[in-house]
Amino acid sequence: MERCLFAISFFIVFNFINVSAQNQSDLIRVNRSQYKVELDKDFFLIKNLTTKAVIRRTNKNFVGFKLGDFNRDGLTDIFVEWGGNMPERFSLFVFSKEDDKYIEIEKFSDYPAAIPLKGTRYYYSYFPAGCADNAWGSDLFYIGKKSAIKIGRIKGDGCGIDDKIVISKMDKEKAVEIETLPIETIQKFENTKWSFIAQYWENNFRKFL
């Protein structure tokens, strides 16, 4: 039930417009241009119908797409959903005012179920890591010019062997452990790990800047 609520909040936050699975197409008007977004079994593309410029990706993993406003700039963003056993994993295409076109945010698919940290430029993800979701993690990240950049991680292990929560700060590509908590910490929160993750990032994100 808690996981379901977390997933529901993800879709509500970004005001997603649901599109049926596979063989999809939609039209978007952005910055005086109209774009056609299309997905079939072979490819995904975004075509500017005014300039005829095309972004094309071979469809190896995609199963559908959704429209929303991830970076909260008032423009339509495109979320392309991956298949597989990692829920709520997307590639993200946003409209760049500087480039006057859609661009792909590199590494965004590394951060499933991403949610904005209210009042900041930061976001946090959630991912299961085994043991019937008793092992799990959350990454704190932001969107750079063309890439998602990780600055922190919470990793919970409740598999019954070395149970704990490890919190790390990124030093370039290296994770540096800064805090360890008992796994029982999550029981103090109304919705256990979901509430713990949200409140930890909200109260402590400045430690990772």
Residue 166, pLDDT > 80, answer yes
Residue 6, pLDDT > 50, answer no
* Residue type present at position 206: R
pLDDT, the chain, mean: 90
Instruction: Look at 186 and 58; give whichever has higher pLDDT.
Output: 186
Residues 106 and 148: beta-carbon distance below 8 Å: yes
Digit-coded pLDDT (tens) for 106-152 = 999 999 999 999 999 999 999 999 999 999 999 999 999 899 999 99
Cα separation of 169 and 178, whole Å?
Answer: 7
What pLDDT score was predicted for residue 41?
85
Residues 45 and 57: beta-carbon distance below 8 Å: yes
Cα separation of 175 and 173, whole Å?
Answer: 7
Label the pairing between strands 115-116 and 54-58: unpaired
H/E stretch holding 179: strand 174-181
199, 166, 198: which is closest to 183 by C-alpha? Answer: 166
Residue 1, pLDDT > 90, answer no
Region class of 38: left (phi > 0), else alpha (psi between -120 and 50), else beta: beta
Label the pairing between strands 90-96 and 77-82: antiparallel
Q: Which two tokens stand for residue 88?
A: 């709520």
Digit-coded pLDDT (tens) for 53-64 = 999 888 777 999
Task: Show me where the domains of the chain are located.
Answer: 14-105, 113-208
Region class of 111: left (phi > 0), else alpha (psi between -120 and 50), else beta: beta
Rg (CA), the chain: 18
* Cα distance from N-terminal residue to C-terminal residue, the chain: 33
Residue 38, pLDDT > 50, answer yes
Cα separation of 105 and 13, whole Å?
Answer: 19
